[in-house]
């Protein structure tokens, strides 16, 4: 029996793998896989990543080791950033 947090972490890993294993390196997201993931899993966010230039820019920012792919560590950094922004959004005005 997993806790909510444990199952959330397992879900993030499963979502990453679902897209990363589609093409090329099974453990990394190439740009087209990242695009599909954002499109299907973060539809609100993709509103801001409409054109190719915005996607290129996002990939460049995520790809901290410069191998032109997004590995799990780079992905989870991105997910935490987005989660922090969501948290701020939902808690603003509390104080």
Residues 9-68 that bind Ca ion (CB under 5 A): 20, 23-25, 63, 65, 67
Residue in the structure block whose two tokens are 């990543």:
49
For Ca ion, the closer of residues 23 and 56 by Cβ is 23
For Ca ion, the closer of residues 29 and 49 by Cβ is 29
Residue in the structure block whose two tokens are 């499109």:
39
Cα 72 to Cα 14: distance, rounded to the nearest angstrom: 11
Residue 71's Cβ-side half-sphere holds a number of Cα atoms within 13 Å equal to 5
For Ca ion, the closer of residues 19 and 49 by Cβ is 19
Binding-site ranges for Ca ion (CB under 5 A): 20, 23-25, 63, 65, 67, 69
């Amino acid at each position: 029996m997993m806790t909510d947090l444990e199952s959330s972490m397992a879900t993030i890993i499963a979502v990453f793998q679902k897209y990363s294993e589609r093409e090329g390196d099974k453990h990394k997201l190439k740009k087209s896989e990242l695009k599909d993931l954002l499109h299907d899993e973060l539809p609100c966010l993709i509103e801001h990543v409409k054109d190719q230039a915005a996607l290129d820019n996002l990939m460049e920012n995520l790809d901290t080791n410069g191998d032109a792919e997004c590995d799990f560590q780079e992905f989870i950094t991105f997910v935490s950033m987005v989660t922090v922004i969501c948290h701020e959004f939902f808690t603003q005005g509390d104080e």
